Each structure stands twice: as structure tokens, then as C-alpha cells.
């Protein structure tokens, strides 16, 4: 009997014996006693196999049978122009940018979260936080009653005292019906205290801000606009991620120079994001996107602001409108997703250096010997023994994000946040209470004499050397420009793209090829498509078993 241990069998056996990377398996592992029955062992892909590899890399799918009739050369242009190619590039950039902020729910205040309660025969909406129930009704478990709310002559909600099951008293109200912003075609029963619409509370709190979450005089506003549900929160966070990917896809579709992805002012916005910027941005918990880096008033309106036909409703989650970002933006590097995924300036710089300059911050094998006593006396990590191995470079690099808030993604404009604020220096010396502006953005603590000169300075300037201070105002786009000027960004883009398409790291002896590809990439004015074309039409790409 002919004996051919097919690769399938090899894989199965490999799996049975513990599993291993497929790349370790070559047809040489299989025996082929009758070569006429086996797939030819050629190191250069034949035309159909090459076409299949191209289609999978460029479109993410195997070719249709009829596509094998035409050669690869005839089809590669169309495939590089296709939306499927843009989708593959987007997918590739997920591995570079790590664009997932689903776990950053703290851009919403938990006390403004809406849910339902079963009250009598009805399902009634209310703010579900026990703290809010206690604040509004005097009892952590109290909901409203299953009866229409009543109002006094001044329009205030009338409550009445009831005894709860634990014997404690609560002051409860009835419900009102509301059309919620997330579905204006429906009417919900909402506890009247939660549905209050006044912008300002009796005590003077702006109910559209996070302060409204702790003021008993605040409700969720007209159409519940300042509150959110779990679904709302997930949709907004997902929309931010989708928006970043749409920018990348649009950039590839337009065949623009690759580096402009990091400097472009193009953005798009949909219904959920419009509502977030207009009504939710101020109701954050601990992570905030304010001061806003976009001009909120220039954004599309929502139907609850304006019933004009060009308003973007919450349900318009698939409708994306193009907008232009302010000058300070640096493309995807100042995108909310990048800023919230990497919430410190060091993390932002580190990811950029690793993904786009091919220079990861890594200690050498075996670690760095440190004299602990000397290190303990040096507060500046750029100079502290051991730390300086990375931080001498990382700190100046991180300064490029110095105008963007950490633990958030707000923009600290030079007009409103100067390099030095006397009031922050004074509060740092204990002369007065620190304001939120000082506490969040300025150096207000000095743990050693060396740190005292930094009191009152914007945090990004702390320990920054004079020659690096300009980086704060230049922004992260300057890192891209510097990388273009010295070639690091360009050669890293070539290297990362080749590694993606070859499925392996490049070897030292392939440097001449990298230089050749880099030259072609430059000649094409940094067209990513041309770089990909150069790689997939190379002998190296086609040489595979």
C-alpha cells in the first residue's frame, strides 16, 4: 500500500503529542513513497498557490475558482485597491496600536447609570446606584412607586414617606414617561426624581457635569441625556474604536502617504459619539476626555438638541460624518483610543517606539546592575542608575504627549495651561488649597530638594532638560517627523510590514533587501500599497513550501 503520511497526519500527530507551531512542520516531516501522488515539494510557489497566498494576505479570503484563471499580476492592482485590503491593513494595525478601550468604563460616572426595577406590575427605569437611591429617597433600596408622579405648584416632584421592609423610612415619588435619547420612538416609565430635566439644581450645581451625580437636586435631564445604560457605555467605547479603524481604512483607501496617518486631521463621527461629546463628556468618573480636544459646538447636533434633518441620532451608529480635527491633533497618536489605551505619556511613547521605530524599551538580558543607595537619592529617572538605561530616552519621548492629560485624553492648551502656574506652586508649598487644575495637571509635591524647582510646573516639564522642553509644544507628530528625517520611522515601517507578510522576523542578512524596499517606499512617496506590492511580488515572498 502506498504510504503517505500527509501533513494532515503530521499535524494531528503533533497535536496529539502536545501541540506545536505549524511553522515547525515542513513536508519533509512526511514520507512520500510515491512522489507522483504527493504535492510537489517545490520551494517556489506555483501560480495557483501564489495567487492563493496573495489573496489571503491582501483580501483575507481564498480566491474564487474563476479567479485562478487570471494571473496574479493581472489581479494584484484590483486587490490592493479593494476595501478588503484596507480591512486587512486595519487588522494589521490593531497589532501595532492595540485599540481596545472596552475596559475604560470610568469615562462614565457609575452614579449616572440607568437600569430597570420591577415595581408592582411595571418595569420602571431609574438610576440604579444604591448611593443615588440613598441620596434621592433616603434609603439604599428605595425605588419610586408604580403610579404617575405628582408635582407641587412650583413644579417640584411630590414625595411621600413609606416604610421599607427593614423598618426604615424612604421618601418616594411616582413615575413620569420619557422618550430616552437612545430610542426616541419609545416611551419609558422613569422615576420622576431621576427624570428631572433642570440644568441647574436648587443648590446651584450644573446637573450636566459629574457634580450632578452627587447632588440630590439633579436628575438625568431632558430625554435622560446626562445618564447612561450599560449598552450606551459599550456602544460609545466601541464607536471610539471603530472610528480609529475608519480613519486607517480611509487613509489606505485614499492611498495617502503612510506617515500622514500620524499627522492627519481627518476624523469621522457617528450618533453615539456625537451624543457622548455633547452630553456625556462631563459626567466622567475618573478618566476624562476634557479639556475637550475637539470643538464640541462645531459637531453635528443630536435630535434632542435640534430636530433639524442633519442631526445625528443615537441610533445613527452606522452613519459616519467626516470632520476636521484641530491643529494640535496628531492623527492616531492623539486619538482617544490611543490615549485611553495607553494612559501615561511613557506608555504612549513606549508603544510608538516599539511599533513604529522598532526600538522597544527593554532592559538587557540579565538586567541592569544598580547601586541601590545611589539610585535612591536620585529622583530624576533620566539620571537614576539603572532607570536611566531606558528613561534617558523615554522621558524626552514621553514629553511629546505632555499637552495631553494622563489617565485621560484631554488637551491642555497652552492658552489655559501655561508651563508654570504660581497658584500651583503656592499650593505645593502648603500656602493654599490645591485646585483641581493644579492637582491634576501641575507638580504640587516635592519629596526632595531637587524636586522643589518643579513646583507649579506643568507635569510634562518635570525634570525635563531645557533642550527637550520644546517637545511638549511640538506634540507626537514631531516624533514621526523626526523618524522620517533620520530614516528610523521609514525603515521600521518597511521591517514591520515585511514581517507581517512573511510571517517571521527578518534576518540580519536581509538588511540589503530592507534597504531596497525602503528606497522603493520613499520613491512612492510613502504609499503603503506600493510597499506591500514590493514585498508580495518579491522572490522572498514567493519562496515558500
Partner 1 sequence: MRRSLLLWALLALGCTGSLPVDHEEHDFGDPDGVDLGTDPWRSRRRMDIDQLDRSIRAVTGGIGWDSGGADNRTSNFTRYGDTLGVPDFINSSSEDLSASLLFAKFLDDASRDVCRRLANREGGSPGAYDGEPAGIFAPVDVNEAEPAQADVDAALSSMLLRFHGRRVPVGDAQLRPWRELYARIAATEAAIETPRRAWEGVCVALLTHPDFFTY
Closest to partner 1 by CB, 9 vs 70, is 9
Q: Which of 165, 109, 122 is nearest to 142 (CA)?
A: 165
CB of 63 to partner 1, least distance (A): 7
List strands edge to edge, sheet with 114-119: 114-119, 122-127, 188-191, 175-178
Residues 464-503 that bind partner 1 (CB under 8 A): 501-503
Euclidean distance between CA atoms 146 and 375, whole angstroms: 66
Q: Does 82 bind partner 1 (CB under 8 A)?
A: no
Instruction: Give min distance, CB of 115 to partner 1, in A.
Output: 23
To partner 1, the closest distance from the beta carbon of 146 in angstroms equals 32
Among 74, 77, 95, 306, binds partner 1 (CB under 8 A): 95
Distance CA 385, CA 375 (A): 5
Nearest to 242 by CA among 271, 265, 264: 271
Look up residue 480 and give its three cell numbers: 514621526
Outline where 254-293 has alpha helix (H). Answer: 271-275
Q: Using the minimum distance from each CB to partner 1, give the nearer residue, 439 or 543.
A: 543
Rank residues 388 and 491 by Cβ distance to partner 1 and give the closer one: 491
Per CB under 8 A, the list member of 75, 81, 82, 98 interacting with partner 1 is 98
116: cell is 430597570
Question: How many chain residues touch partner 1 (CB under 8 A)?
Answer: 74
Pairing state between β 175-178 and 188-191: antiparallel
For 495, residues 6+ apart whose C-beta sits below 8 A from its C-beta are 358, 506, 514
What are the φ/ψ torsions at residue 323 (nearest 5 degrees)?
A: -145, 165
Nearer to partner 1, 54 or 119 (CB): 54
Give the Å distances, CA to CA, from 431 to 428, 442, 448. 7, 15, 18
Largest CA distance in the chain: 98
Residues 313-372 that bind partner 1 (CB under 8 A): 341
Q: Is the dihedral of CA 525, 527, 528, 532 positive or negative?
A: negative
Strands of 37-143 (E only): list them: 114-119, 122-127
Site string for partner 1, 102-121 (x = CB under 8 A): xx------------------
Q: Minimum CB separation from partner 1 for residue 62, in Å?
A: 4
How much is the CA Rg of the chain, to the nearest whole Å?
A: 29
Helix/strand/coil percentages in the chain, nearest 5:
45, 10, 45
φ and ψ at residue 108, rounded to 5 degrees: -115, 145
Between 435 and 540, whose beta carbon lies closer to partner 1? 540
Q: Considering the rule CB under 8 A, would residue 508 count as an interface residue with partner 1? A: no
Burial (CB count within 10 angstroms: exposed 0-12, middle 13-18, buried 19+), residue 389: middle
| Closest distance of CB 34 from partner 1, Å | 8
Residue 34 touches partner 1, criterion: CB under 8 A: yes
The binder of partner 1 chosen from 94, 301, 481, 488 (CB under 8 A): 94
Query: Applying CB under 8 A, which part among 37-45, 157-165, 268-276, 366-374 lies near partner 1?
Result: 37-45
Q: Min. distance of Cβ 335 from partner 1 in angstroms?
A: 14
* Ranges within 166-225 binding partner 1 (CB under 8 A): none
- Residue 447 interacts with partner 1 (CB under 8 A)? no
Residues 42-81 interacting with partner 1 (rule: CB under 8 A): 43, 46, 48-49, 51-53, 56, 60-65, 68
Q: How far apart are CA 486 and CA 329, in angstroms?
A: 23
Q: Any idea what DSSP says for residue 4? A: B
Cell matching residue 317: 451608529
> Looking at beta carbons only, is 167 or 503 nearer to partner 1?
503
Q: How far is the CB of 83 from partner 1 (least distance, A)?
A: 13
Q: Does 23 bind partner 1 (CB under 8 A)?
A: yes
Task: Give the range of 314-322, 379-387, 425-433, 506-514 binding partner 1 by CB under 8 A.
Answer: 506-514
Taking the least distance from each CB to partner 1, the nearer of 310 and 539 is 539
Query: Under the criterion CB under 8 A, does residue 10 sit at the interface with partner 1?
Result: yes
Shortest distance, position 90 Cβ to partner 1, whole Å? 11
Of the pair 72, 294, the CB lying nearest partner 1 is at: 72
Amino acid at each position: 500500500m502506498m504510504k503517505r503520511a500527509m501533513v494532515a497526519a503530521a499535524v494531528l500527530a503533533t497535536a496529539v503529542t502536545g501541540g506545536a507551531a505549524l511553522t515547525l512542520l515542513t513536508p519533509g516531516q512526511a514520507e512520500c513513497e510515491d512522489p507522483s501522488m504527493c504535492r510537489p515539494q517545490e520551494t517556489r510557489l506555483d501560480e495557483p498557490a501564489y495567487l492563493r497566498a496573495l489573496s489571503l494576505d491582501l483580501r483575507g479570503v481564498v480566491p474564487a475558482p474563476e479567479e485562478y484563471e487570471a494571473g496574479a499580476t493581472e489581479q494584484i492592482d484590483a486587490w490592493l485597491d479593494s476595501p478588503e485590503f484596507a480591512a486587512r491593513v486595519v487588522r494589521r494595525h490593531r497589532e501595532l496600536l492595540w485599540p481596545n478601550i472596552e475596559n475604560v468604563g470610568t469615562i462614565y460616572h457609575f452614579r449616572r447609570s440607568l437600569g430597570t426595577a420591577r415595581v408592582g406590575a411595571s418595569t420602571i427605569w431609574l438610576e440604579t446606584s444604591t448611593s443615588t437611591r440613598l441620596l434621592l429617597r433616603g434609603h439604599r433600596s428605595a425605588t419610586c412607586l408604580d403610579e404617575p408622579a405628582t408635582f407641587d405648584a412650583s413644579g417640584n416632584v411630590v414625595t411621600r414617606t413609606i416604610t421599607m421592609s427593614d423598618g426604615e423610612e424612604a421618601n418616594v415619588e411616582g413615575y413620569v414617561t420619557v422618550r430616552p435619547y437612545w430610542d426616541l420612538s419609545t416611551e419609558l416609565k422613569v422615576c420622576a426624581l431621576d427624570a428631572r430635566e433642570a440644568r441647574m439644581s436648587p443648590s446651584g450645581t450644573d446637573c450636566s457635569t459629574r457634580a450632578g451625580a452627587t447632588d440630590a437636586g439633579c436628575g438625568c435631564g431632558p430625554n435622560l441625556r446626562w445618564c447612561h445604560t450599560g449598552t450606551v457605555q459599550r456602544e460609545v467605547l466601541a464607536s471610539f474604536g471603530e472610528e480609529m479603524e475608519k480613519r486607517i481604512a480611509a487613509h489606505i483607501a485614499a492611498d495617502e502617504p503612510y506617515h500622514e496617518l500620524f499627522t492627519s486631521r481627518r476624523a469621522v463621527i457617528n450618533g453615539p459619539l456625537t451624543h457622548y461629546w455633547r452630553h456625556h463628556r462631563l459626567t466622567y468618573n475618573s478618566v476624562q476626555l476634557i479639556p475637550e480636544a475637539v470643538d464640541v459646538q462645531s459637531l453635528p447636533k443630536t435630535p434632542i438638541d435640534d430636530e433639524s434633518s442633519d442631526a445625528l441620532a443615537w441610533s445613527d451608529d452606522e452613519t459616519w460624518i467626516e470632520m476636521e480635527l484641530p491643529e494640535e491633533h496628531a492623527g492616531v497618536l492623539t486619538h482617544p483610543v490611543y490615549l485611553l489605551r495607553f494612559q501615561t505619556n511613557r506608555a504612549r511613547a513606549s508603544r510608538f517606539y516599539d511599533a513604529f521605530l522598532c526600538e522597544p524599551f527593554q532592559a538587557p538580558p540579565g538586567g541592569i546592575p544598580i547601586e541601590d543607595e545611589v539610585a535612591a537619592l536620585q529622583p530624576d529617572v533620566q539620571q537614576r542608575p539603572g532607570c536611566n538605561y531606558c528613561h534617558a530616552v523615554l522621558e524626552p519621548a514621553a514629553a511629546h504627549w505632555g499637552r495631553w492629560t494622563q489617565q485621560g485624553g484631554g488637551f491642555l492648551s497652552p492658552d489655559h495651561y501655561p508651563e508654570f502656574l504660581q497658584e500651583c506652586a503656592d499650593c505645593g508649598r502648603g500656602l493654599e488649597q490645591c485646585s483641581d487644575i493644579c492637582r491634576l495637571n501641575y507638580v504640587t509635591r516635592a519629596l526632595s530638594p531637587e524636586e522643589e524647582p518643579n513646583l507649579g510646573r506643568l507635569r510634562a516639564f518635570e525634570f525635563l532638560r531645557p533642550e527637550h522642553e520644546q517637545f511638549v509644544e511640538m506634540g507626537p507628530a514631531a516624533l514621526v517627523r523626526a523618524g522620517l528625517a533620520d530614516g528610523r520611522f521609514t525603515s521600521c515601517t518597511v521591517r514591520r510590514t515585511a514581517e507581517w507578510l512573511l510571517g517571521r522576523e527578518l534576518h540580519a542578512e536581509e538588511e540589503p533587501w530592507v534597504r531596497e524596499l525602503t528606497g522603493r517606499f520613499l520613491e512612492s512617496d510613502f504609499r503603503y500599497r506600493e510597499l506591500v506590492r514590493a514585498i508580495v511580488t518579491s522572490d522572498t515572498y514567493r519562496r515558500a513550501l
